[in-house]
Structure 1
Amino acid sequence: MTAVRLADFVKAYDVRGLVPEQLSPEVATALGSAFAQVVVLPEGESGVVVGHDMRASSPGLSQAFAAGVAAHGVDVTTIGLCSTDGLYYASGSLGLAGAMFTASHNPAAYNGIKLCRSAARPVGQDSGLAEVRDLAQWLLDRGQRHAALHAGRPGTVTARDVLGDYAAYLRSLVDLRGGRHLTVVVDAGNGMAGLTVPAVLQGGDLPLTVVPLYFELDGTFPNHEANPLEPENLRDLQAAVLAQGADLGIAFDGDADRCFVVDERGEPVSPSAITALVAEREVAKEVAAGRPAGEVSVVHNLITSRTVPETIASLGARAVRTRVGHSYVKAQMAEHEAVFGGEHSAHYYFRDFWYADTGMLAALHVLAALGEQAGPMSGLVGRFERYVASGELNSRVQDVPGAVGRVRDWALARGASADTLDGLTMTREDEPTWWFSLRSSNTEPLLRLNVEAKDRSTMEHVRDAVLGLVRQEAPA
C-alpha cells in the first residue's frame, strides 16, 4: 500500500500538498485518471484544459496529470504558464473541464491543483473532489497510476496559447481608454501576475503607467510571500507608491486570482470597500442596459463589512448574503443570476466571467473607477469605510462548542440577535451597534473571529470580551 494519504492534502476546495512527499508525478497521474473517470467521462465533458503556475514542480506535475486524463481517451489542451483566472477563462471560452496546478500563496515547497468543470464550474469536496480523491487513492494503493486504458484510442495532448485572448476578453469588459492617466505600482510577488499584467495593462493605448515590482516569475518567492493578506507583504508596495507619487498600488497573490489595493497614501483599502465599489459599477451597468435595479443581485459573504449590503440596498439592488467559500458564492450567484460577488478575502466573482473569481477584472474596475473621476483613491473609497473592523483573529480551542456557547450567552445578554448561517453571527442593532462572526476552521481546532462596530472603542471592547471568553479568560 502506498504511504501517501490523499485525505491529508486533498482539501475542501482543492489539492494542496508538499512536493514530492505528498504531491508527486505518480500522484498527479492517479488524480488525472480519477478526474477523467469521476467527472469528465460520466458528465460528458468534451475535454480537459490544463495550466500551471511558475513553481519549478508545476510543469512536470501538470504533464503527469494530463497523461492520466488522456489514458482514458480524453483529449487534453495544455496552456502552459497561466494565472488561475487564465485557466478559468480557458475553461469558459473553450467549453472544457479544467485543472490548474498552483499552490497560490503557499511557500515554495508546496504545489496543488484546482479542478473545475466546463464553464469554470467548481469541483469541491461536495461536488466530486471526494470521489476523485478516493478513486485516486484506490489506484495508488494497488500500484496503478490509472485503471485500464480506455477501450479506444488514448486522448491527444495539444498545446495552445490563450494569454492574448484572455487579455482581450478582460479589456472588452472594462474599457480604460476614456479615463485620465494613472500611475499604478503593481506588486506581482514573483507570481503569475508577472505574466498577466503586461498582457492586460501595458498595451500602448491605455492611459496607464505601470511601475512593476517583482514581475520575474520565481516560485521560490525571493522577495516576500505572495500573500497580500499579510500586512508585511504589502510594505514594498506601500513604499513604492509613496516613492513614485503613484495614484494607487495593486498587489496580486501567487496565482493572481486575488487583488489587493493600496491608496495614494500607501494605506490598504479593505476588500469590502472594493466589493462595494465594484458592486456600484456592475449594478449601474445593468441599469444602463435597461434592467430594473430591483432585479439585479450581488452576492457577499457574511464577513464582509455591513457597508456592502448597505451600498447594494442604496442602489435599489438585492444583496444576497452567503457562507464563506467560493463554492457557496458561486452557487448563490448562479441561483440568483447575480452580476457580481465579493468576499472579505479579496476574491471577486463576475457573472460575465462564468461566475468565477478574477483578480485582474476587479483591478480593471478599480482603475476605471479612479480614472473616471478627478479625486484621489482615498476619496473614491473613503465613503465605504463607515465601520471599524478587527480583521480575522484565530484562537486555538479544544472545546469549540463550549467556547461558542459562552460567547453566545454573553452576546444574547447584551441584546444581540443570533444566526447560524456559517458558524455563529451575533448582531446588536441598538447603540452602540456591533456585530461579530465566530467560525470554526474546517481543518484545525481553531475559532476565527471577525468583529465590526461603528467606532474603535466599541469594536475593541467586543473583540477583547469575546476573545477572553473563547480563550476562557474573564471578559472585560
Structure 2
Amino acid sequence: MTDLSQIIKAYDVRGVVPDQLNEPVARALGTAFVEMLRESGDEPDQIVIGHDMRDSGPGLAAAFARGVNAAGAAVINIGLASTDQLYYASGSLNLPGAMFTASHNPAQYNGIKLCRSGARPVGQDSGLVVVRQRAQELLGDLNAEADGPTRVEQRDSLKDYAAHLRSLVDLAGIRPLKVIVDAGNGMGGYTVPAVLGDQVLPALPLEIVPLYFELDGSFPNHEANPLDPANLVDLQKAVREQGADIGLAFDGDADRCFVVDEKGDPVSPSAITALVAARELAKFPGSTVIHNLITSAAVPEIITERGGKPVRSRVGHSFIKAEMAASNAVFGGEHSAHYYFRDFWFADTGMLAAMHVLAAFGGQDLPLSEFAAEYERYVASGEINSTVADAAAKIEEVRAAFPDARVDDLDGLTFEVGGGAWFNLRASNTEPLLRLNVEAPDARRMAELRDEVLAIVRG
C-alpha cells in the first residue's frame, strides 16, 4: 500500500505513476478532499477538476472524480488545462478545485494541486495533512465506501479564461513585438494561442513564434523546467537567430513564466517581480506587495520607492498565498517565477505576468535588455543545490563561520554579511539537499561569498 507521506508534502501531491500515485490513491484522495472540506466548515456541492498533458492525467482525474462522487459531491471537469486555468475556474465558479499536474517534473511523475473555493490554497497548514491522513485510512479500509452515482459535468473554460486575462491587461495599444514562446511541450502550447494569439479572441500586435507547442507529457525536446538554464538554450538561440524582441518560456503546467531579452539573456524573476509590482502599485498606490525571502534586495527597494509596502514570505505557493490574503496584497512574486495577483484570486499565473511584461515593454521603445536593467541592481548566484547527509548540522557549521552576520530564520537561515551582500541556506522539503542563494552588489563579491559558503557545505 502506498505510504502517502512520501508523496504528499508541504504544498501538493507529487509521485511516480503508478508506483506511488495511481487510480486507487487518486480515488481515496478525492473522497478525503471532500471530507476535509466539510470537516473544516465548507459544504462543497461541486469540485472542479482539470489535468495537464501527461498521459496519466485523464485516468487519475476520473478516479479522483469517483472519489468525490462517493463522498456525495459532484464534479465539473474542465479537461485539459494549465494550472492557472484551473485557478480561474475555481475562482470564477467559487468552487474547490483539483489540478492534476507534476509541473516541471519528469514524465514518469504526476501530482495534484488542491485549492478551496476561490482558488484559496490547500497546504500542510491548511488541510493537506488531514487529506493525507484520511486518504491513508481509506486505502487501508477494505470496506471503504462504494462509488456514488456518477455526477460529472464536462465544461470548457479556455475562452472565458483567456477573456478574463485580456480584461486585466490591455495589450491592444502596444507597439508590434516579435515574441518567441517555448512551451516545452507543456500546457503553454494550449493556452498561449488562446490568450496571446487569435485562436479565440481578436488578434493582438504580437507575432507569436511557437517552440514545442505540441502537447506531449514525455517532453521529447527538453524538460519543461525553465529554472534549469539548460532548458532555455533553444529559446535563447531562436531569439538571437530570428531577431525577436523577447522570449517567453513556460513550465509544464504553464503557471510559471521565464523571460529572455533580445540578446537571449535571461531577465531575472526578481526583476520581473519588481517590474510587475511597479505596474500594480501605479494602479493601486500604497498597496502591500509580497516577495519571498530569496528574491533580490532590489525588489523591496523598488516596492518602497514606488510607495508600496514590501512584506517577506517563506518560499512556496501556499505560504505566499496565505500572506497575500492576510494583507490584501495587490501582487506577490517568487524567484522561482511564480507570480500572484489579487485580481486573480491571489493565485499564481505565469500568463498574466507575461502580459504585464509585454504591456510595459511594448509601451516604450527601448530594447528589453536596456528596459529591464532598471530592475536589476545586484548580482545573484541563482539557487545552488548540495547533497548533504545532515542538513541541520551543515547549517550550524555555516552559522558558526559567520559570527558577525545578522541572521533570521524565516525559512532556513538568511545571513546579512554587510556591504549589501547576503545569502540564504535552507533544506529541501523533499530531498537530502541544502539550497543556497547568494546576492551581492558585484560579481566578484558574490563569487567570493558563494565559494566560501559552498566550501563549508560540501567540505
2:345 to 335, 354, 360: 354
Amino acid of the structure 2 residue aligned with 1:161: D
Partner of 1:454: 441
Q: Which has the higher mean CA deviation after the structures are superposed, 324-333 or 154-163?
A: 154-163
> What is the distance in 2 between the residues matched to 1:221 and 1:397?
30
> What is the distance in 2 between the residues matched to 1:79 and 1:173?
22
Q: Please give the TM-score of this superposition, normalised by the length of structure 2.
A: 0.96
- Contact 1:33/1:147 (8 A) holds in 2: no
Amino acid of the structure 2 residue aligned with 1:340: F
Q: Please give the TM-score of this superposition, normalised by the length of structure 1.
A: 0.93
Partner of 2:141: 142
Residue 339 of structure 1 and its aligned partner are, at CA, apart by 0.3
Matched, 1:363 2:354: yes
CA deviation map 1:184-216 (0-9, x unaligned): 000011000111000000124311000000111
Partner of 2:3: 5
Partner of 2:431: 444
> What is the distance in 1 between the residues matched to 2:253 and 2:390?
36
> What is the distance in 2 between the residues matched to 1:420 and 1:5?
31
Matched, 1:167 2:162: yes
CA deviation map 1:143-165 (0-9, x unaligned): 35x43677xxx462101111000
> What is the distance in 1 between the residues matched to 2:401 and 2:124?
35
Q: How do 1:104-115 and structure 2 match up within 5 A?
A: 104-115=103-114
- Contact 1:40/1:97 (8 A) holds in 2: no
Residue 397 of structure 1 and its aligned partner are, at CA, apart by 2.2
Q: Which has the higher mean CA deviation after the structures are superposed, 223-232 or 126-135?
A: 126-135
Partner of 2:411: 422
2:179 to 163, 176, 184: 184
> What is the distance in 2 between the residues matched to 1:116 and 1:422?
23
- Two-structure CA RMSD over aligned residues (Å): 1.4
Residue 399 of structure 1 and its aligned partner are, at CA, apart by 3.2
Partner of 1:332: 323
**Aligned residues: percent identity?**
64
Matched, 1:471 2:455: no
Equivalenced residues, count: 455
Q: Which runs of 5+ in 2 are unaligned?
A: none
Q: How do 1:209-224 and structure 2 match up within 5 A?
A: 209-224=207-222
- Contact 2:288/2:311 (8 A) holds in 1: yes
Residue 327 of structure 1 and its aligned partner are, at CA, apart by 1.3
- Contact 1:297/1:317 (8 A) holds in 2: yes
Residue 40 of structure 1 and its aligned partner are, at CA, apart by 4.7
Matched, 1:275 2:273: yes
- Contact 2:36/2:131 (8 A) holds in 1: yes
> What is the distance in 1 between the residues matched to 2:367 and 2:194?
26
Partner of 1:290: none
Amino acid of the structure 2 residue aligned with 1:358: T
CA deviation map 1:239-263 (0-9, x unaligned): 1111211100000000000000000
- Contact 1:249/1:264 (8 A) holds in 2: yes
2:291 to 283, 297, 300: 300
Q: Which runs of 5+ in 1 are unaligned?
A: 288-292
2:264 to 263, 266, 279: 266
Give secondary structure in 2 for the equivalent of 1:442: coil
- Contact 1:259/1:359 (8 A) holds in 2: yes
> What is the distance in 2 between the residues matched to 1:125 and 1:143?
27
- Contact 1:40/1:47 (8 A) holds in 2: no
Residue 442 of structure 1 and its aligned partner are, at CA, apart by 1.7
Partner of 1:225: 223
CA deviation map 1:245-282 (0-9, x unaligned): 11000000000000000000000110000000000000
> What is the distance in 1 between the residues matched to 2:242 and 2:16?
39
Q: How do 1:3-152 and structure 2 match up within 5 A?
A: 3-40=1-38, 42-143=41-142, 146-147=144-145
Amino acid of the structure 2 residue aligned with 1:15: V
> What is the distance in 1 between the residues matched to 2:189 and 2:392?
45
Once superposed, which parts of structure 1, at least 4 consecutive aligned residues long, lie more than 3 Å away? none
- Contact 2:17/2:56 (8 A) holds in 1: yes
> What is the distance in 2 between the residues matched to 1:280 and 1:84?
25
Give secondary structure in 2 for the equivalent of 1:59: helix
Partner of 2:194: 199
